[in-house]
Amino acid sequence: MARSMCGRFSLTSPVEAMRRVFDFPERPNLAARYNIAPTTNIAAIRVDKNATGESRHYFSAHWGLIPSWAKSTEFSAKMINARSETVTEKPAFRAAFKSRRCLIPANGFYEWQKLSKGAKQPWMIGIEDMPLFAFAGLWESWKSADGEVIESCTILTTTASKSIAFIHPRMPVILEPSRFDPWLRGEAGTEVLKAFDADRMTFYKVSSRVGNVRNDDADLLKPVDPPPTQARLL
């Protein structure tokens, strides 16, 4: 079965580091996660409006968007990504794009390079000068027939930066910190949903162990052979 892009990532930074970068007041008890997989709950940040204005807040969201009008959670696993080129058109995403945006913190993401005879090589991909960064995301709130409420999210994707396109033709949308607020407030449009600066991307091969969701340990971040000069261990 083909793996989605973006289908795995890591978030290992301490909560206090996350609070400094994303400026939220909550202090969630988060363990380091080296192999975050779809349909699990992940960290996210959104803007909440109140009597004193707007402020960023942390929340936990099921990774795999469940539109508010969905009859069940059945298709959540197929909604982990939203293509930036069509996000304003697709019924599952267009309402969230208008008014329910979020940031999804990460230290790096994995992608699988197709090799000969069906083999695949996993890579860890990050940013040289931003060891903690954010994917552009959308979120939704869904209520079941028996009253259960699930908040869910999806990660936007775009054409890959030229430096990593040989691994996979697409990548998650990564936002510069200066674009956090315009994105969250709905002031930024699809013009920000572009490939990240190719010269700032880092990448190196990692163990095929990352393909098993049960593996979630620091060894997954270790290079399996000497990394290229532009790559470093996140």
Active site residue 111: yes
Report the DSSP pairing between strands 81-83 and 149-159: parallel
Q: Supply the DSSP symbol for 224.
A: S
CA distances from 111 to 1, 32, 79, 165, 234 (A): 14, 20, 18, 11, 15
Q: Which of 54, 74, 89, 111 is catalytic?
A: 111
Residue 17 tokens, joined: 């580091």
Sign of the dihedral defined by the CA atoms of residues 50, 90, 40, 167, in that order: negative
Identify the CA nearest to 42 among candidates 68, 72, 64, 20: 64
Residue 83 tokens, joined: 């293509």
Report how far residue 108's alpha carbon sits from residue 126's, in angstroms, rounded to the nearest whole number: 5
Q: Which of 6, 140, 151, 153 is catalytic?
A: 6
Residue 208 tokens, joined: 């095929």
Active site residue 102: no
Catalytic positions are 6, 111
